[in-house]
């Protein structure tokens, strides 16, 4: 399955300024806050920006940050209810925007009813088989259980239990029935590939063209795709190489990553990005803000499925820290609301819209052939070919100008020379995209 969509990824609990925590289990439920309904106010904004897909981070009932799921059949009361989500999905579809949901099938929160049953009944619990528990080993609760990356509040599921697979499939089908087009599978790298494969086979019986994207941070991407039969994986290798090569002024790192990326693209379309809800924002990650267009130009021209993290198009800043609550800066509301006059005149906003338009006009880029044709530490030329067309990206991080070695017949589409079509040099720290009509 080939996907030429451009995704807009937002983390609803932060984007919509929800409370950090739901009431504790057993406490009186707080009122339902219909924050999801506010996303309808962003529809014109997304349409104007040019994105064609919306990925919503966790929206299901949870204890705190959304990844400690309590009930995946219910919308988190801090965000609204099922009707709010369905109305948003319908409104997106009316504008040609697909909707994806972030699904957590590797673990649940401690307040999930099945784990609460284990805490209550111990060995006698009929739900103990849902988790990887050792009642003979001491632990915080009197016994030991597997947790996700050492987080005691995230209880890992036992994927060898067929009831867990049935549950995951039922959850997915529930939301497919309500119009969802795709799922991002959180921590897919920690879930057995045979579980993911069986999940995909059954979910595709309900919706043959459902897009399944697995979170993978490192490892053997192609083997994971072959074993799991997911459609895509998050391309962290390219993400790291992109900001690192710009910061270190070492395009050899980017060239190596693009070679790997091209190899991945022979098997699947990677999910590409320059930022997400788990990473320092690109505007804060780059040591030289002049290179922000360079990063975006690569994102919007390389094969795969590009995703923008909400706020990057506004130049939002934020650092992720390796501590509790360290995600706060990268998950807060956006600096500007739709219709903000200051935003409309923002160069970074205009740049995003311009490059997205270039991408949308050339759907062949989703599966393009990639070649690095000129390379030095401080400058790189990347050629993309497909469908009888060609696109060239030239990046320069040197203080001095660099030659633009662009094949004849191409015109500048974006960058520093777009108004100087006859120029043969990029200025210091310049960039450009050339292409056929």
Question: Structural domain boundaries of the chain?
Answer: 7-109+159-365, 110-156
CATH node for 7-109+159-365: 3.20.20.80
With vertex at residue 96, the alpha carbon angle to CA 90 and CA 101, rounded to the nearest 5 degrees, is 60
Structure tokens at 140: 């915080």
Distance, CA of 284 to chain centre: 18
Contact (CB, 8 A) for 30 and 93? no
Cα 219 from Cα 241, distance rounded (Å): 15
pLDDT at residue 434 in the model: 97
Which pLDDT score is estimated for 37?
97
Contact 335, 311 (CB under 8 A): yes
Look at residues 13, 56, 58, 57 and name the one whose alpha carbon lies nearest to residue 35: 13
DSSP reduced 3-state for 102: strand
Q: Which H or E run includes 151?
A: strand 151-156
H-type alpha helices, 122-273: 162-176, 193-206, 221-228, 236-248, 251-265
Structure confidence at residue 362 (pLDDT): 97
Burial of 27 (0-12, 13-18, 19+ CB in 10 A): exposed
Residue 35 carries which DSSP code? G
Q: What is the spatial distance between Cα 395 and Cα 380, in angstroms, rounded to a whole number? A: 5
The pLDDT of residue 140 is 82
Helix orientation angle between 292-299 and 347-360, rounded to the nearest 10 degrees: 20
CB neighbours of 324 closer than 8 A, spacing ≥ 6?
none
Q: What angle do CA 151, 219, 252 make, to 5 degrees?
A: 120
- Residue 94 C-alpha from the chain's centroid: 23
pLDDT at 393: 98
> With left for phi above 0 and alpha for psi between -120 and 50, is residue 140 left, alpha or beta?
alpha
According to DSSP H, which parts of 266-346 are helical?
A: 282-285, 292-299, 341-344
Interior angle at CA 394, CA 388 and CA 395, nearest 5: 150
CB atoms within 10 A of CB 241: 23
Say if residues 225 and 267 touch (Cβ distance below 8 Å). Answer: yes
| Residue-level pLDDT, tens digit, the chain, 437 residues | 678 999 999 999 999 999 999 876 555 567 889 999 999 999 999 999 999 999 999 999 999 999 999 999 999 999 999 999 999 999 999 999 999 999 999 999 999 999 999 999 999 999 999 999 999 999 888 899 999 998 889 999 999 999 999 999 999 999 999 999 999 999 999 999 999 999 999 999 999 999 999 999 999 999 999 999 999 999 999 999 999 999 999 999 999 999 999 999 999 999 999 999 999 999 999 999 999 999 999 999 999 999 999 999 999 999 999 888 889 999 999 999 998 888 878 999 999 999 999 999 999 999 999 999 999 999 999 999 999 999 999 999 999 999 998 999 999 999 999 999 888 899 999 999 999 86
Q: Which CATH number fits domain 110-156: 2.30.30, 1.10.357, 3.90.400, 3.30.160?
A: 3.90.400
Q: What is the pLDDT of residue 324?
A: 81
Question: Can you read off the two tokens belonging to residue 9?
Answer: 């990824």
């Amino acid at each position: 399955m080939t996907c030429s969509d451009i995704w807009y990824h937002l983390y609803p609990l932060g984007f919509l300024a929800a409370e950090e925590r739901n009431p504790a289990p057993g406490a009186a439920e707080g009122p339902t806050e219909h924050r999801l309904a506010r996303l309808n106010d962003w529809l014109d904004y997304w349409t104007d920006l040019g994105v064609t897909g919306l990925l919503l981070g966790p929206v299901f009932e949870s204890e705190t940050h959304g990844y400690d799921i309590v009930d995946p059949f219910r919308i988190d009361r801090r965000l609204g209810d099922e009707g709010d989500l369905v109305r948003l999905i319908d409104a997106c579809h009316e504008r040609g925007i697909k909707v994806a949901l972030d699904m957590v099938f590797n673990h649940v929160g401690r307040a999930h009813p099945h784990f609460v049953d284990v805490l209550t009944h111990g060995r006698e619990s009929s739900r103990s088989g849902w988790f990887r528990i050792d009642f003979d080993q001491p632990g915080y609760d009197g016994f030991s259980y597997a947790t996700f990356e050492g987080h005691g509040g995230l209880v890992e599921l036992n994927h060898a239990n067929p009831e867990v697979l049935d549950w995951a499939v039922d959850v997915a089908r529930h939301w497919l029935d309500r119009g969802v087009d795709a799922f991002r599978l959180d921590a897919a790298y920690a879930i057995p590939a045979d579980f993911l494969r069986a999940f995909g086979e059954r979910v595709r019986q309900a919706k043959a063209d459902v897009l399944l994207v697995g979170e993978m941070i490192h490892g053997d991407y192609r083997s994971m795709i072959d074993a799991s039969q997911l459609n895509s994986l998050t391309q962290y290798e390219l993400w790291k190489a992109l900001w690192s090569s710009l910061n270190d002024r070492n395009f050899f790192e980017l060239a190596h990553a693009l070679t790997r990326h091209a190899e991945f693209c022979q098997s699947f379309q990677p999910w590409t990005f320059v930022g997400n809800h788990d990473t320092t924002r690109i505007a804060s990650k780059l040591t030289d803000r002049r290179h922000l267009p360079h990063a975006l130009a690569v994102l919007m021209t390389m094969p795969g499925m590009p995703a923008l993290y909400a706020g990057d198009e506004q130049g939002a800043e934020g650092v992720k820290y390796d501590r509790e609550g360290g995600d706060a800066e990268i998950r807060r509301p956006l600096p500007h609301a739709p219709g903000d006059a200051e935003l409309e005149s923002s160069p970074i906003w205009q740049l995003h819209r311009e490059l997205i338009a270039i991408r949308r006009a050339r759907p062949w880029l989703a599966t393009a052939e990639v070649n690095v044709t000129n390379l030095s530490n401080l400058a790189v030329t990347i050629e993309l070919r497909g469908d009888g067309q060609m696109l060239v990206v030239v990046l320069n991080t040197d203080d001095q100008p660099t030659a633009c070695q662009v094949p004849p017949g191409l015109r500048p589409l974006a960058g520093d020379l777009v108004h100087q079509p006859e120029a043969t040099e990029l200025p210091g720290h310049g960039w450009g995209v050339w292409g056929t009509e």
